[in-house]
Amino acid sequence: MKSFASRIIRWQQRHGRHALPWQSTRDPYRIWLSEVMLQQTQVATVIPYFERFVARFPDLAALAAAHEDDVLALWSGLGYYSRARNLHAAARTIAECHDGMFPAAADAIAQLPGVGRSTAAAIAALAFGQRGAILDGNVKRVLARHGGIAGWPGDKSVETALWRLAESHLPRNAIEAYTQGMMDLGALACTRSRPACPACPVNTDCIAFTQHRTAELPTPRPKKALPEKQVLMLLLLDRGELMLEKRPARGIWGGLWSLPELTVDADAAAHCRDRLGFTPLAQQALPQFSHSFTHFKLHILPIQMQLAPRQITLPGQIWLAPADALSAALPTPVRKLVAQLDLA
């Protein structure tokens, strides 16, 4: 029987993905950008963001010179915004510490903000042909099934076992095709539900397939009830413009422009008057809606408030027409609210 790696490489060359916009290049900038965008995000979602991003920032120097607000604005809607902040910080690190040249060694790549062991190895393999194991979500699923490794891959002991297995399968040559093939196999054939096992190039010695255990491997994350939070969001309007506040650099939606938030039992009019220095004239409760994060569910109670002509603008605030606000770096639920504003 041919080796695990040789079967993956042959399958990738015949059946893998070859037309993604970040393929057919050895440019580490574009490969790095795609790998970061693909963290916890599906390919179909990433493609239009990737194309807009490289059109605006075609190389490392352009990204390093950009303002963070512009980077976040292009990322708006893609989620996990720390990725964008880390991407921008890493570009500046490369410009300042590596003379603008993307580091070639996986160990050096892994020192960049927002880049871990697996992402660094993928970039080093695809851009520089360096031999190293990867272990993203798709690869974990392939290896857990093929090797019959039970347990949730998020557990340290299970992850360690998967890393050992990933390293044991590395080929001596064609690391680019092998690396892409492992990602492609998990995305196209060894899918979470209804895997296409008959089309898999390594099914003959796959423990999950031969033992009819594909439904149980890999072991799912232990279920926990998501905490739920409620918040008031204020859409403050003055002469056709909406007030946005800059979020703190750290935490959820860090660095984005958002709406003032209050606890659900707060007095919105009093907050405007006493804390912000605005005079409310009228307010209207808008339909409630929910937004789910990885670790909790947020229930948003929007209040639209018309203000008397303002006298001041505090630091960290901007006033924009709703159409212009949609071009700013907004969190997804805030973008949804702004898009639905009716100022007639």
Determine phi and psi for 284, rounding to 5 degrees: -145, 125
Answer yes or no: are the C-beta atoms of 230 and 301 closer than 8 Å.
yes
How far apart, in whole angstroms, are the C-alpha atoms of residue 161 and residue 153? 9
User: Which residue shows structure tokens 């060359």?
Assistant: 13
Cα maximum dimension of the chain:
78
User: Which residue shows structure tokens 């209207």?
Assistant: 284
Catalytic residues: 35
User: Which residue shows structure tokens 């790998």?
Assistant: 35
Answer yes or no: are the C-beta atoms of 242 and 305 closer than 8 Å.
no
How would DSSP label each residue in 37-83? HTTTS-HHHHHHHHHHHHHH--SHHHHHHS-HHHHHHHHTTS--THH
